[in-house]
Homo-oligomer: A and B are copies of this chain.
């Protein structure tokens, strides 16, 4: 069941069979057709392991995301996959679940596999895990975060400006007349994304000439639906209940929406709500959710493209300059934050 069997059956050498597969134009038509016929008859499929052993690197790209349960990352994966496959690469999608340990384990698996390159949304903000990749000269592109330029060498990255995103969201709420806004976040600012969104929110408040106390923060432990629902209790416990809520992502926002609905608080009449990521389910919520859209598919696509480019450059021993792409978010205004009547 190897190339040897094919060669034997077709009465040619293994080299010729290899040529038929990889450079068909170099082999005479009669031979080529005979070999192809045998391949088809035997159902021969070449062994990637042998191939990549010889080549030194596989034809697979690793993709490590923070949370496959979040449709945002599913979209990133979709974009990346499409591009990778167009370039003849397979994609291995893995889920670190925001855990640096899992992240380290997966990255080391990628190294074992000698993947061609890695797209990663880092769980470990220090970038320590990434040094493993650098050590083995595996190109990588950071997605949805900018590299902390640890040792001056840097890497490519694709991200969305989270400060502006946060600013847009809160500016919109202020514009709608809100003067007391809660920020439902998660993970206590470990994640740069969350930190930036908060910073943007504060900037919007300052820009409007409002006092900093306008924004108050409610923290959760995970960026998921149920913590969002739980956060509503704290929200309602605040003295001077906020009239608007800005959530660090849509999963949280959906949780908040559900819990508000459950206690009979009307959205947007009593409390306005803005999420982040603009996942499909946000628009599909019974009160369609205003949300900061991130071009997720596009990010995946761009990141994969950059990675492919870097890979190529490496092969041709060309110089590759790392690039940091920062995309702009946009606000998708929907029902959940429509203008509230003057108080």
Contact = CB atoms under 8 A, between A and B. Distances in A.
A49 B52 contact: yes
Given A53-B53, A69-B74, A284 B229 contact: yes
22 contacts: A43-B136, A45-B111, A45-B136, A49-B49, A49-B50, A49-B58, A53-B53, A68-B78, A69-B280, A74-B74, A78-B95, A81-B95, A90-B92, A90-B94, A90-B109, A225-B281, A225-B283, A225-B284, A254-B285, A258-B288, A267-B286, A285-B285
In the complex, the count of this chain's copies comes to: 2
A219 B239 CA distance: 50
A47 B114 contact: yes
Interface string A36-64: 00000001011111101100001000000
A87 interface: no
A214 interface: no
Contacts of A81: 95
Given A49-B114, A135-B43, A258 B285 contact: yes
A interface secondary structure, majority: helix
Contacts of A281: 225, 254, 281
Interface residues of A, number: 49
Contacts of A229: 284
Contact of A112 (B45, B136, B255, B284): B45
Nearest to A137: B1
A93 interface: yes
A53 to B, nearest CB: 4
A117 to B, nearest CB: 16
Contact of A53 (B1, B47, B287): B47
A108 B286 contact: no
Interface of A: 1, 43, 45-50, 52-53, 58, 68-69, 71, 74, 77-78, 81, 90-95, 108-109, 111-114, 132, 135-136, 225, 229, 254-255, 257-258, 261, 267, 280-281, 283-288
A125 B125 CA distance: 45
Contacts of A90: 92, 94, 109, 113
A22 to B, nearest CB: 14
Contacts of A68: 74, 77-78
A310 B287 CA distance: 48
A135 B285 CA distance: 46
A45 B108 contact: yes
B49 A53 contact: yes
Contacts of A48: 49, 112-114
Nearest to A286: B286
B46 A112 contact: yes
A112 B49 CA distance: 8
Given A68-B78, A281-B225, A284-B255, A47 B92 contact: no
A286 B287 CA distance: 7
